[in-house]
Amino acid sequence: MAFYRPAPWQKPLSVALLIAALALPTLLTAIGQEFYVGFATRVLIFALAATSLNLVLGFGGMVSLGHAAFLGAGAYVAAICQQAGINEALLAFPAAMGVAGLFALLVGAISLRTRGVYFIMITLAFAQMAYYLFVSARAWGGDDGLPLTGKMAFAGIGLGGDTPLYYLALGCLALVMLLFGRLADARFGRTLQAIRENETRMEALGYAVFRYRLAAFALGGALAGLAGALLANLTGLASPNLLQWTQSGTLLVMVIIGGVGYLYGGVVGALILLVLEEFLVGLTPHWHIALGVLLLGVVLFAPKGVAALFGKRHG
Amino acid sequence: MVEGLLEVRGLCRRFGAIEALKDIDFSVDTGEVHALIGPNGAGKTTFIHHVSGALQPDAGSVRFAGQDVTTFGMHRRVAAGMARSYQITNIFLGLDALDNVALAVQGRPDAGSSFRFWRPVRSETALFDEARSYLEQLGLGSKATTLAGNLSHGEQRALELAMALATRPRLLLLDEPMAGTGPEESARMVELIEHLARHVTILLVEHDMDAVFRLADRISVLVNGQLICTGTPEAVRNDAAVRRAYLGDHL
Ligand SMILES: Nc1ncnc2c1ncn2[C@@H]1O[C@H](COP(=O)(O)OP(=O)(O)O)[C@@H](O)[C@H]1O
Ligand SMILES: [Mg+2]
C-alpha cells in the first residue's frame, strides 16, 4: 500500500464539503425533508466510527474484528453518565473517549502480541466478552440496553430536536478528520504506515513497533467511543447490540468500500453503505441481497475502495 | 584480553532437526572488518539474525559494547548501536529514497520522539538534511526523489546501506551487500565499504572472495553451522581444513 500524502485539492475540497454539510439542515428544512437530518446525523456518526477503524486497519494494518466494542462502550458511558446525573456532553463525551480508549489500550496490549488470524480472533473474543458483560448487567438494562431520558446538553445548551445533535456530530467529525489528516502526514503516521508495510524493517531501524501500534489502537478506540456517545444521543439507547461482532463487521465493510488506508475511506464508506441501505430498504424486503450484490460490485470494480477512484495517492 | 565490540559465546540454534548453529564462539574487535564466509546454507544469515536480535538462541550469549544483549529485541540492539542490511533488499518501495533514509534517521533515539501528531514530517528539515547527507555519501544524491521501487538493483543495495548508516551504528552487519549486483556495481560497493570501514566496525557476510580478501582484517569460516577457522586472510587462505571444506580451487 502506498503512503498517505495530502493531495493539493484536499484542503479546498474538505472546506467545500464542510460548508455543504453546514448548510444541509437548512436546505432539508427548506424543501420540507427535516426527517433526513436525523439520518444525516447517523451518517456523520458512522463516518466517525469507520474513520476510527480506518486509523487502526488502514494506517496501522491491524485487522480488528472487535472495533464495535469501543463504539458500544462509548454509548454506555454516555448513558451511564446521564443515569448518574451528568447530562453535560462536555463531561460525558470525554469520559466515553477515555473509557473506550483505556479499554482499547487493554485489549491492544494483549492482542497486539499476536499476528494475523490470531489477532482477528482475539479482538473478536474481547468484543464478545464485553457484549456478554453488558447483556448480563441488570443495572444497565441487560439485553434491553440502557435508555437515555433525553438528549444531553452541550455547554449547557440542550441537544433536543435533530439539528443541534447534527451540528455536534459534524463538529466532532470535522475535528477528527483534521487531526487524522495531520497525524497521517506527521512522524506518527509515517511510522505507523511504515510498520504496516514492513514491521521487521522498522524494528531493524530501531523502532519499538509495539508501542506505535498500541497507541494507534487505543486512539482508534477512543474515537470510536466518541462516536458511540453521539450515537446513544441519536438513538436514545445504549444497546448491547452496538458491541456485537456484526456491528464490527459493518464498520469493516464501510472501510473496505470507502478505501482502506485512504484518509476519507471511512467517511465515503459510511455514506455509501447507509444511503444504499436507506434506499434499498424502501425498495425491497430483500435489500440484504441487493446490498450484497452491490458490495460485490465494489470489490470487483474498485478493489481499493471508492475513495481510491477519486485520487491517486503518491508515494 | 580486551573485550571485543561484539562477543558471541556458545551460541546454539536448531530448526527442528537441523542444527543451524553449533556452539559458536565469535568476536568482532572495534575498528576491524570481520568477514564471515561459508557455503550456501552454512548458517551465515541465521547467525546474523541472532546477532541482530531477529532470532533468539537456544543457548549461548551475545554481548555488545560491554553489555549483555542476549535478551534484547532487535530495536533495543539498534538503539545500542547495531545496524544491519539485509541479504534480500528490504526497503520501503512506496517511499522515495530520501524518505526511506529520513525514516531511518527518525528512528534514532537522539532524533526525538516519533509520537508527533501535528507537524508534517516533510517540514522537519533537520531530519531530511541529514538523510540527504547519507544519500550523497552513498552516491545517491541525484536519486533523492526517485521512488525506491524505481531504483536499479545496485541503487537499492546502496539505499539499504544508507538506511543502516543513518542509524549511526557502531557495528554494521552486512549480509551479502553485493548479492545480485553486476561487476561494476560490486566494485563500487567494495569502495564504499572500504570508505565506511574507516568510521565503523563491520561484520561482513559475503560470497565474492575477491571482495572479502580485499576488505577483511579477519575472516571466519562457517561450514554446516560450525565455525571451523578464524584468522587473518593469509592464515585462512592457507588453512587446510578451510581448503578442504569450502574454498577448493577458488584460491
Ligand atoms: N526459519 C528457518 N526455519 C527452518 N530452517 C531454517 C530457517 N532459517 C534457516 N534455516 C536453515 O538453516 C540453514 C542455514 O541457513 P542460512 O542461515 O540461510 O544459510 P546461509 O546464509 O549461510 O546461506 C539452512 O539449512 C536453512 O535451510
Ligand atoms: Mg544467507
Q: Where are the domains of chain A?
A: 4-313
| Residue A309 pLDDT | 82
User: B121 — contact with chain A (CB < 8 Å)?
Assistant: yes
| Grid cell locating B164 | 543502516
Q: Closest partner residue to B120 among A185, A201, A215, by Cβ?
A: A185
SS3 B180: coil
ipTM of the complex: 0.90
| Residue A286 pLDDT | 85
- Identity of residue A138: R
Q: Are strands B82-85 and B171-175 parallel, antiparallel or unpaired?
A: parallel
Residue B61 buriedness (CB in 10 A; 0-12 / 13-18 / 19+): middle
The DSSP bridge partners found for residue B172 are: B83, B202
For residues A51 and A262, is the Cβ–Cβ distance under 8 A?
Answer: no
**Contacts for A181 with CB less than 8 Å, ≥ 6 apart:** A6, A10, A14, A263
For residues A68 and A272, is the Cβ–Cβ distance under 8 A?
Answer: no
| Tens-place pLDDT, residues A17-53 | 999 999 999 999 999 999 999 999 999 999 999 999 9
- Please judge whether B117 and A186 are an interchain contact, meaning their C-beta atoms are less than 8 angstroms apart: yes
Q: Work out the pLDDT band at A314, boundaries 50, 70, 90.
A: very low
Best mutation target among A203, A210, A213 (most B Cβ atoms within 10 Å) is A203
| Alpha-carbon span B15 to B3, nearest angstrom | 30
Could you tell me the CA-to-CA distances from B113 to A204, A240, B107, B117, B193 in Å, in that order? 17, 39, 8, 10, 31
Question: Which chain B positions have a beta carbon within 8 Å of A196's beta carbon?
Answer: none
Ligand with smallest separation from the Cα of B40: 1
| Residue A57 pLDDT | 97
Q: Closest partner residue to A198 among B92, B106, B107, by Cβ?
A: B92
| Grid cell locating B204 | 561482513
| Tens-place pLDDT, residues A110-124 | 999 999 999 999 999
Nearest-by-CA chain A residue for B173: A204
- Please judge whether B124 and A187 are an interchain contact, meaning their C-beta atoms are less than 8 angstroms apart: yes
Of the candidates A308, A302, A291, A274, the one whose C-alpha atom is nearest the C-alpha of residue A39 is: A274
Q: Work out the pLDDT band at A315, boundaries 50, 70, 90.
A: very low
Nearest-by-CA chain A residue for B79: A206
Question: Which chain A positions have a beta carbon within 8 Å of B107's beta carbon?
Answer: 202, 205-207
Residue with cell 514492513: A198
**Domain boundaries defined on chain B:** 1-81+169-251, 92-168
Q: How would you label B178-190 residue by residue, b for 16+ Cβ within 10 Å and e otherwise?
A: bbebeeebbebbb
| Alpha-carbon span A109 to A182, nearest angstrom | 25
Question: Which chain B positions have a beta carbon within 8 Å of A194's beta carbon?
Answer: 92, 95, 103
| Residue B251 pLDDT | 46
Of the candidates B209, B195, B208, the one whose C-alpha atom is nearest the C-alpha of residue B251 is: B209
Residue A312 buriedness (CB in 10 A; 0-12 / 13-18 / 19+): exposed
- Please judge whether A186 and B120 are an interchain contact, meaning their C-beta atoms are less than 8 angstroms apart: yes
pTM score, whole prediction: 0.93
| Tens-place pLDDT, residues A134-166 | 999 999 999 999 999 999 999 999 998 889 999
| Grid cell locating B60 | 549461548
Centroid of ligand 1 to alpha carbon of B17 (angstroms): 12
- Please judge whether A197 and B103 are an interchain contact, meaning their C-beta atoms are less than 8 angstroms apart: no
Average pLDDT over residues A198-218: 96
* Min distance B54 CA to chain A CA atoms (Å): 8
| Alpha-carbon span B118 to A188, nearest angstrom | 9
Q: From B46, B203, B222, give the residue whose CB has the most ligand 1 atoms within 8 Å, as the site to mutate.
A: B46
Sign of the alpha-carbon torsion through B134, B140, B141, B147? negative
Percentage of chain A lying above the pLDDT 70 cut = 98
| Alpha-carbon span A65 to A63, nearest angstrom | 6
Could you tell me the CA-to-CA distances from A289 to A16, A252, B106, B123 in Å, in that order? 35, 18, 49, 49
Half-sphere exposure of A188 (CA within 13 A, CB side): 21
* Min distance A303 CA to chain B CA atoms (Å): 19
Query: Strand order in B67-68's β-sheet?
Result: B18-28, B6-15, B59-64, B67-68
For residues A272 and A257, is the Cβ–Cβ distance under 8 A?
Answer: yes
* Min distance B243 CA to chain A CA atoms (Å): 35
| Alpha-carbon span A198 to A145, nearest angstrom | 42
Across A64-73, A273-282, B73-82, least confident range: A273-282
Residues in chain B: 251
Residue nearest to atom 2 of ligand 1 (CA): B15
- Please judge whether A206 and B107 are an interchain contact, meaning their C-beta atoms are less than 8 angstroms apart: yes
Residues of chain B with pLDDT under 50: 251
The runs of H, that is alpha helices, within A136-208 are 163-185, 187-197, 199-204
DSSP letter, residue B96: B
DSSP-based helix, strand, coil % in chain A, nearest 5: 75, 5, 25
Q: Closest partner residue to B74 among A3, A203, A212, by Cβ?
A: A203
Q: Are strands A146-147 and A237-238 parallel, antiparallel or unpaired?
A: antiparallel
Centroid of ligand 1 to alpha carbon of B18 (angstroms): 9
Indicate whether A296 pLDDT > 90. no
Residues of A with CB under 8 A from a CB of B: 1-3, 179, 182-183, 185-191, 194, 197-198, 200-209, 212, 215, 315
CB B43 near ligand 1, within 6 Å:
yes
- Please judge whether B99 and A200 are an interchain contact, meaning their C-beta atoms are less than 8 angstroms apart: no
Q: Closest partner residue to B106 among A187, A197, A201, by Cβ?
A: A187
For residues A247 and A50, is the Cβ–Cβ distance under 8 A?
Answer: no
- Identity of residue B216: A
Superfamily of domain B1-81+169-251: P-loop containing nucleotide triphosphate hydrolases (3.40.50.300)
Across A76-90, A156-170, A266-280, A288-302, least confident range: A288-302
Other C-beta atoms lying within 10 Å of the C-beta of residue B235? 13
Gyration radius (Cα) of chain A, Å: 19
| Alpha-carbon span A66 to A64, nearest angstrom | 5
- Please judge whether A191 and B109 are an interchain contact, meaning their C-beta atoms are less than 8 angstroms apart: no
User: Pick the residue with more confidence: B118 or A311?
Assistant: B118
* Min distance A315 CA to chain B CA atoms (Å): 5
User: B199 — contact with chain A (CB < 8 Å)?
Assistant: no
| Alpha-carbon span B240 to B233, nearest angstrom | 13
For residues A59 and A194, is the Cβ–Cβ distance under 8 A?
Answer: no
Average pLDDT, chain A: 94
